[in-house]
Structure 1
Amino acid sequence: MQQTGLKTIAVNRQARHEYFVQESFETGIVLVGTEVKSIRQGGVNLKDSWCSIDKGELWIKGMHISPYEKGNIFNTDPLRVRKLLMHHKEIDRLLGTLKQEGLTLIPLSLYFKGSRVKVQLGLCKGKKLHDKRDAAAARDAKREIDRALKTRNQ
């Protein structure tokens, strides 16, 4: 019997700072054995990664998976392009929205679902500088309110 628990491996925090996430999707990813072992040790970075659709297939680019220390000749290139697994109808629908609305696909997180590695993709629209400032101001205001409430309740 498989576990259905989710174990988060990596989160792309910068993506939520740089983009408005309009919709998110869960996809599988094609990996080699030593990559899975390295991911289990937490050797993955999503910071500068993005996704593209080439010839009807979904690919993740710029994702860095550190070489497995005991993998010797079986290790692959840490920045190689990896295929994402999604139904063709979903990929076609994504391709249509990407072309029409000028959106982009960004990996938001990487996690284990049971024994499988899954990627959460976000259909994102870029933030302007003033949007980032507004978000930072709102976050700072919330922090100040929480501090004031905490000192008041003591």
Structure 2
Amino acid sequence: MFPNPDPTRHGDPLDRAEQPPMSACVTPGAHGSATIAVSGEIDVHDAPDLCNVAVTAMTTYRGPVTLDLTAVTFCDCAGLGALIHIRRQALRAGRRLLIRAGRPVGHLIQLTGTGPYLHGPGSGQPVTLPSRQTARLPT
């Protein structure tokens, strides 16, 4: 194990008790739409839950589904895999999926080059980053 550079933090850095849990809240909108507001950290422990919530929302609501990730504080490769899975399910079902990404998720999407897929046909909007300018990833 690597030495902990922060003497105020104790324990294993992977200890789930020290990490804010992921939270997902589905809010119905107009014309059968829904928004899934996600906060906290999306990692290997939470990614399956995010997939379940999103797929359930896409089968329950008939309008566009917005995945609002602006309050997510951390997202690892398992979380990115969950987003790709959710996007794949939306494409298979012919559903419109809109993704709003905050800095952690947006940065991961940019680093991995997955923006074009996550933005893909039927999304209706780019993956966005909260900043002075909206970054448009290539389509």
TM-score range, shorter chain: under 0.3
TM-score for both structures, normalised by structure 1: 0.20
Higher strand share: 1
RCO (CA 8 Å, sep 6+): is it higher in 1 or 2?
1
TM-score for both structures, normalised by structure 2: 0.22
